[in-house]
Structure formats: structure tokens, C-alpha cells
Structure 1
Amino acid sequence: MSQSRKQPIDRVLDLALSFEIALSDQGDNAPPSWKVSVRTAQLVGGPVDVRSSNRQAIASLYELRNQATHGGSLKPRGGKTVDAILQDSFDLYVSTIGKLLDLGSKPDWKTVELEPLA
């Protein structure tokens, strides 16, 4: 959905919500930005530096999400444009959904948060 929207604010909000739906369970009280960034990094996997970079990419999406919901304008930090942050996040979303499909069911998130999948 976020790829078909025209306004960057709408794209940011749609993509953040898509991550939350895919990576949450009922009764899951972890803050959305933490939960999505850690679970995405762990599911996509790779060496620690790659997981750290992926976690930061999702954190950047959530900075934009917070700006969109609280201020209405998007001012990215860290030198990347809004479009670059959206593209990086969308690519991670596709990878994350692929990993979930490979698993066949939602994993035990507490395990995912603590160790990479084999």
C-alpha cells in the first residue's frame, strides 16, 4: 500500500503500520519502534554490522513516523532523504516478509529478539 500512495507522510505511516502488523502479537506491549527494528534486524539476519544498519534504517522510518503523527512535516536526520529512508525500509519489509513466509508461521518473538534464527 505505501508504494501506491503519493504523499510521503502517507507512505511513512502505511509502511510503519505494515511492519507493526507483521511483527506483533496480541498482548505484545513492547514499544513499536523497538519491536519492529529489533525483530526486523534479527529476521533479516547477517553479521552484527548488517543487523545494526538494518535496525537503524527502521529507527529512521520511525523517526519520520513520529514526525508525521505529531508534527505533520518530515525532516529526516542523518543525511538521507525521505525517499531513501522509505526505499530502504520497504526493501527491509520485503525481506522480512520473505523470512516470515520461509518460516511458515510467526516465530516466538522473545526468542527472535535474543538470538538470530538458524
Structure 2
Amino acid sequence: MKSALASLTTAAAIGLGLLTLGSLGGCSSTTIMTYLPSGDTGFAINCSGSDASSSWAECYKRAGEVCGNYGYDVVSKDVDNGATSGGSVGGIFGANVKNRSMVIRCKQ
């Protein structure tokens, strides 16, 4: 039978591991209302990240959620593949951060 200390150590190790995985694979996705040069209201969507699920599809999904059934027009898109972040000197466990953002205008 495990001691209480061994059980606590195992639980702490699992928690730390999950926290580490979450931070390495996180996708930073934000949507902010903004004003376009025409004076119309638009939305700036940032769907940057380093995991496999961070792609333009995430940006389009967010745009669909913001505008709903009205649809939207893409005003601008920007991508920067960035450099490897995290990991070690040899690049093991590193991740290539992709900075993706787009500005949309909801149709009315």
C-alpha cells in the first residue's frame, strides 16, 4: 500500500505534467471589437499558437461565432511563422509559434 507522501507526490507530478502540456500546446485566441477606417464596426481576431489545432480554421470558426447567421467579410489577414520557442538548446520539445490574426466585418 502506498504511503500518503507517495500518493501526494504522484498527484503533484501528474498535475505539473498536465499544466506543462497545457502551456506548451496553448492557443492564444482573442476577439476584440474595433472600428474600421470606414467607421464601421469590425472585429480583430487573434488565433495564434504553437499547437496543431491553431490554424486559420480556428480564426474562421471564431469569425462565424462572432457574426452568426449574418456572415462576414475578411478585411485583412496577417501571419508570421515566428521562431521556435521553448525546448532546449537542441530544439527538443520546442514549438514553432504561429502568429495569425485577421480583421472581419459582419454582414448585415
TM > 0.5 between the two? Answer: no
Greater radius of gyration (CA): 2
TM-score by length of 2: 0.27
Which structure has more relative contact order (CA 8 Å, sep 6+)? It is: 1
Q: Which has the higher strand share?
A: 2
Larger helix share, 1 or 2: 1
